[in-house]
Amino acid sequence: MARTAPKPLPEFSPDRLLDRVAEALQVAAEPARFKKFPAWTQRVMGILKEQFVPREFAAVLAGDASVFAEGIAVAWAAKARDLAQTRAGTGGRFAQSLAERLALDDGARKVAMQVEAGAFTASDEFQKQVMSRLFAPDFAERRAFVEGLAIGNRLPELLDQQAQRSTTDATGIYLLLWFYWPEISRLKSVGEVATVLEPFFAENRNAAGAHWEERIRKLANRLGLSFRAKQARRKRAAEQP
């Protein structure tokens, strides 16, 4: 019997990126959520974190109560409008859409929208907080805040450098496995995974190559992406009278 071709993956969209970003933020806030993802998806997320986030910043990004991290956050808020304008296809509602996915309260949602619009940094509250940090009586506090500002302003550059050092031609495959993990989980075999991913690399011979399916099988083995249990259940069901 000929194998039925799997349904093609949907085109990538800003909404899909929002879904994955929202999931990552929820995991950061509630680490227990991480275990709800399939084991192979957890591994993919871990690999992408290692490739894109410098190790020295991992603790900083998690330590949102520190003055240093506050400095980074302030720098990001100041750059938010420029960053938001690069997110084509969101209609200027990236922050609002993300806030809706995270089920933020009205106050937090309003702040998110103000940050994206560039209005938050002009507010009296924001300016007072920045000035209080810059002129804090405690030298260590002032230094930590200014160092955080400096890192925050350079973070896109530093992350780009990390990506250039750590990413490989397999990174694109990992990203697609992450973006499409719900659909990938519903497939029936690793062969189907190779089939639905291949169109994304049709113009990249270095990534696809002549042995595409074999490469996906090796990556799947590394990630623990297996459909054997699902295949066994289907076989047992077919054998029942």
Q: Which of 188, 196, 231 is nearest to 213 (CA)?
A: 196
Are 30 and 144 part of one and the same domain? Answer: yes
Split into its structural domains, the chain has a count of: 2
Contact 141, 133 (CB under 8 A): yes
Are 202 and 113 part of one and the same domain? Answer: no
Q: How far apart are CA 154 and CA 151, in angstroms?
A: 5
Are 21 and 66 part of one and the same domain? Answer: yes
Does 154 fall in a domain?
A: yes
Sequence-distant (6+) residues with CB within 8 A of 131 are none
Are 161 and 80 part of one and the same domain? Answer: yes
Which pLDDT band, with edges at 50, 70 and 90, does 241 fall under?
Answer: low
Does 47 fall in a domain?
A: no
Sequence-distant (6+) residues with CB within 8 A of 200 are 9, 172, 176
Q: How far apart are CA 164 and CA 177, in angstroms?
A: 20
**Segments forming the whole domain that contains residue 134:** 14-41+52-166
Are 32 and 150 part of one and the same domain? Answer: yes
Are 125 and 86 part of one and the same domain? Answer: yes
Does 173 fall in a domain?
A: no
Does 213 fall in a domain?
A: yes
| pLDDT tens digits, one per residue of 96-126 | 776 777 777 787 777 677 666 666 667 777 7
| pLDDT tens digits, one per residue of 15-56 | 898 899 889 878 877 889 999 999 999 999 999 988 887 766
Does 102 fall in a domain?
A: yes
3-state secondary structure of 65: coil
Does 216 fall in a domain?
A: yes
Are 28 and 106 part of one and the same domain? Answer: yes
Q: Which residue has the higher pLDDT, 158 or 8?
A: 8
Final residue belonging to a domain, choices 101, 131, 166: 166
